[in-house]
DNA sequence: AAACGCGTTGAGACCGGTCTCAATCTAGGT
DNA sequence: ACCTAGATTGAGACCGGTCTCAACGCGTTT
């Protein structure tokens, strides 16, 4: 006896209800599924029987012949990361309102896991995909998704060579503004730190795995260059996950860097701790700015100046777009870019000396 | 043509592969599904055909006759809340390792939404449920889940009158310890703040909607009572969501309260901000302690003394238990209680004056 | 050489719904 | 009273897998 959750009981099916209501299976299904034409009397009788038997429709069987599962798959780097928590919530609310549920998978920013996630979602026949792609430059793991013909919307980062909708923040402008602030305060030796992985030293023009970080680095080096700082690329420190933010910050301090731009709030947090442990005062000795208005940034001493992103809205808008595509909107691919907003606090000061 | 994602292409099925490999559908299914007996030659031939055609198994069809969906439903209050983010991640990792995926639903701590979520999960035929119940005292929304016969594991809170596994932290002991610390520092006028809803003033013995908060309040009032503080229940402030933490803290300060115990890190955060805005110094004027080692609590000035819970582990253990139940473990119901650990920082001082 | 056993294979039922199509019923038109 | 359009209803195919069961091929036993 399949479809049996290990315990004795069998699930009640349309046939059971039909028998109880003394109508055909087809009629019962119509009454229950609210489609086709059924007389009011019969419909009530069937509904009553269903209620009485404790009938719960099997959405899977429905999916089998409608081809729609009413679920969308969402692949995030790590749901524990507040950024993804917020984006997921935004997406979940929109999805729910449109009658969809979320199947959540973590990629740990790793292509293999991402491909795996896509494959699982494909097998579960989700109606669409919401993905924060692990790699902008090598989006091979996403191919099965686009080939499936089911809509895919990327959020937080774009992917090269994929004609799909994207929803991101304006990281280039945000990075420029943040760097300008530092430069205007008089800084010349400013470092950019990100956990993104990269082979060898960063050189101008290198494409990074995350389009967001890529844009941030681009904005950062551009402003530095315009300010006449030679070799701005030398101040870009990647691979912070592998090398450790702590170690990077320590060497930065040794090298006499006077300001740090953290690519995300987690990096900023680690940097903040290290500077504090080192007895380096923010902003007197070193200025610190970051992306994302994480809660701690307004509570710490000093409070951190940040570039805030409408994270919740990015997730929600991505879901809105996806839902529209699922509904059959064949409009040209969209690339939404949300503005970031600067929140000035107390972590910037002129360089010491 | 059903099962078609709106675009032209039809999905490749076992039958297609069978035809291409010139074997029966049954044999192809065996080769692909890795069950039954198939000669090596045929298996390779079928696999090659599948590969060539781009066959992707339909997990739903499989679920239909095995009765197992390999997905588990998780219902949290709000995935945006770091607590649930962490617990969900813990659960996701365990689930993934066991071959399950997560269907995520937010309940917003509201019974109606919770019931709805359960119903969706029931329809999707999840193999089991992971729920942080919105209400301890009125767990009616969970009944359909237990009646379905599919295993249900509660985490973070228990539910009255439900014989199901639960995984929670030792909130009673944690609250006692935190309160003792305050009492030992000399405080007598200590307030407890929680967002939990409650009709009218709190009276000793009242059951609160969340078992966690209930235990915390119980521990809190008990220690206060043992310290000889009259009417400890008068210091319990609930409904902070409705009334606003800010307003509550202001009136508390007016009333001359010298210490605050925040039931969670979100409340603590709001209280911290209000005290700062009021110019009330922590801990000189008012001491502040809270549950959960949220990241900001170690970064703020002063850093907050907290009672830390193994959140990640709570989620993971709940998932482990659930997976075991799904596998058919019929052992008696388990009620796991994780110890909380105190992290002493700088937010406690003797009361002023 | 007949009988037996085991590994393979194919045919077709089944899971629980949806949907097509034909049969039946009803009411309105003349 | 007779015909017909429209509303209801039932029978059965179908979605894409799994699984039972019978049939088949072939080496080994006696």
pLDDT 10s digits, B214-228: 999 999 999 999 999
Cβ within 8 Å, pair B60-A80: no
Give the number of other CB atoms < 10 A from CB of residue B40.
8
Name residues of chain B where pLDDT drops below 70. 1-9
Which residue is closest to B327 within chain A, CA to CA?
A6
- Of A5, A59, A66, nearest to B150 by CB-CB distance is A5
Spanning CA of B37 to C1' of D30, the rounded length in angstroms is 30
CA dist A50 and A25 (Å) reads: 12
CA A34 to chain B, closest CA, distance in angstroms equals 16
Domain locations in chain A as residue ranges: 14-57, 69-167+311-338, 171-310
Which class in CATH covers the domain with range B70-168+311-338? alpha beta
CA dist B237 and B256 (Å) reads: 15
CA dist B252 and B249 (Å) reads: 5
Q: What average pLDDT score do residues A264-276 get?
A: 97
Find the farthest-apart pair of alpha carbons in chain A and give their distance in angstroms, rounded. 91
Which has the closest alpha carbon to A80: B343, B77, B128, B311? B311
Closest nucleotide to A24's CA, by C1' atom?
Answer: D10
Closest nucleotide to B56's CA, by C1' atom?
Answer: D16
Spanning CA of A126 to C1' of D13, the rounded length in angstroms is 26
pLDDT band for position A9 (cuts 50, 70, 90): low
Q: Judged by CB atoms within 8 Å, which residues 30-69 of A form the interface with B?
A: 54, 56-61, 63-67, 69
Tokens representing A184?
A: 């205007």
Q: Judged by CB atoms within 8 Å, which residues 109-168 of B form the interface with A?
A: 119-120, 122-125, 127, 144, 147-150
Q: What average pLDDT score do residues A249-272 get?
A: 97
Over residues A111-162, the pLDDT tens digits come to 999 999 999 999 999 999 999 999 999 999 999 999 999 999 999 999 999 9
Over residues A278-336, the pLDDT tens digits come to 999 999 999 999 999 999 999 999 999 999 999 999 999 999 999 999 999 999 999 99
Q: Report the CATH number of the A171-310 domain.
A: 3.40.50.2300
Cβ within 8 Å, pair B85-A81: yes
3-class DSSP string for chain A: CCCCCCCCCCCCCHHHHHHHHCCCHHHHHHHHHCCCCCCHHHHHHHHHHHHHHCCCCCHHHHHHHHCCCCEEEEEECCCCCHHHHHHHHHHHHHHHHCCCEEEEEECCCCHHHHHHHHHHHHHCCCCEEEECCCCCCCHHHHHHHHHCCCCEEEECCCCCCCCCEEEEECHHHHHHHHHHHHHHCCCCCEEEECCCCCCCCCCCCCCCCCHHHHHHHHHHHHHHHHCCCCCHHHHEECCHHHHCHHHHHHHHHHCCCCEEEECCHHHHHHHHHHHHHHCCCCCCCCEEEEECCCCHHHHECCCCEEEECCHHHHHHHHHHHHHHHHCCCCCCCCEEEECCEEECCCCCCCCCC
Share of chain B above pLDDT 70, in %: 97
- Of B60, B86, B127, nearest to A64 by CB-CB distance is B60
Closest nucleotide to B25's CA, by C1' atom?
Answer: C10
Residue A3 pLDDT exceeds 50: no
Cβ within 8 Å, pair B58-A102: no
CA dist A345 and A303 (Å) reads: 6
Which class in CATH covers the domain with range B171-309? alpha beta
A165 beta partners: A153
Nucleotides on strand D lying under 7 Å from protein C-beta: 7-12, 14-20
- Mutation for testing the A interface, residue in B104, B271, B319, B329 having most A CBs under 10 Å: B104
pLDDT score for A84: 98
Q: How far is CA A309 from CA A39, A129, A295, B266, in A?
A: 54, 22, 13, 21
- Of B59, B89, B96, nearest to A124 by CB-CB distance is B59
Same fold, A69-167+311-338 and A171-310: yes
Which has the closest alpha carbon to A296: B304, B211, B246? B304
Give the number of other CB atoms < 10 A from CB of residue A47.
16
For residues A38 and A88, the model is more confident at A88
Q: Report the CATH number of the A69-167+311-338 domain.
A: 3.40.50.2300
Over residues A159-205, the pLDDT tens digits come to 999 999 999 999 999 999 999 999 999 999 999 999 999 999 999 99
Spanning CA of B34 to C1' of C3, the rounded length in angstroms is 33
Over residues B169-197, the pLDDT tens digits come to 999 999 999 999 999 999 999 999 999 99
Residues with CB under 7 A from strand C: A 2-3, 10-15, 25-26, 29, 32-33, 35-36, 55-58, 61-62, 64-66; B 2, 23-27, 30, 36-42, 61, 64-65
Give the number of other CB atoms < 10 A from CB of residue B39.
10
A146 contact residues in B (CB cutoff 8 A): none
- Mutation for testing the A interface, residue in B32, B81, B296 having most A CBs under 10 Å: B296
């Amino acid at each position: 006896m399949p479809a049996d959750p290990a315990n004795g009981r069998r699930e009640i099916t349309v046939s059971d209800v039909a028998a109880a209501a003394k109508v055909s299976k087809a009629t019962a299904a119509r009454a229950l599924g609210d489609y086709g034409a059924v007389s009011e009397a019969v419909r009530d009788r069937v509904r009553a029987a269903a209620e009485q038997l404790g009938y719960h429709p099997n959405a899977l069987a429905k999916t089998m012949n409608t081809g729609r599962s009413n679920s969308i798959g969402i692949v995030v780097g790590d749901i524990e990361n507040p950024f993804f928590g917020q984006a997921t919530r935004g997406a979940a609310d929109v999805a729910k309102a449109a009658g969809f549920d979320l199947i959540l998978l973590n990629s740990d920013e790793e292509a293999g896991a991402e491909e795996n996630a896509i494959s699982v979602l494909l097998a579960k026949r989700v109606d669409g995909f919401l993905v924060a792609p692990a790699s902008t430059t090598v989006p091979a793991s996403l191919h099965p998704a686009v080939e499936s013909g089911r809509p895919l919307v990327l959020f937080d980062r774009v992917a090269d060579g994929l004609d799909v909708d994207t929803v991101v923040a304006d990281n280039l402008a945000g990075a420029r503004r943040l760097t300008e602030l530092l430069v205007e305060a008089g800084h010349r030796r400013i470092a950019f730190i990100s956990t993104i992985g990269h082979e060898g030293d960063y050189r101008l023009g290198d494409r990074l795995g995350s389009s967001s970080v890529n844009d941030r680095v681009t904005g950062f080096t551009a402003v530095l260059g315009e300010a006449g700082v030679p070799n701005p690329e030398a101040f870009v420190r990647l691979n912070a996950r592998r090398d450790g933010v702590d170690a990077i910050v320590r060497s930065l301090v040794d090298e006499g860097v006077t300001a740090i731009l953290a690519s995300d709030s987690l990096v900023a947090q680690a940097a903040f701790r290290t500077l504090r442990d080192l007895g380096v005062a923010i902003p007197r000795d070193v200025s610190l700015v970051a992306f994302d208005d994480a809660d701690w940034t307004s509570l710490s001493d000093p409070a951190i100046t940040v570039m805030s992103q409408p994270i919740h809205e990015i997730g929600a808008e991505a879901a809105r777009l996806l839902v529209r595509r699922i509904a059959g909107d064949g409009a040209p691919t969209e690339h939404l870019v949300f503005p970031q907003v600067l929140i000035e606090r107390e972590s910037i000061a002129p360089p010491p000396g």
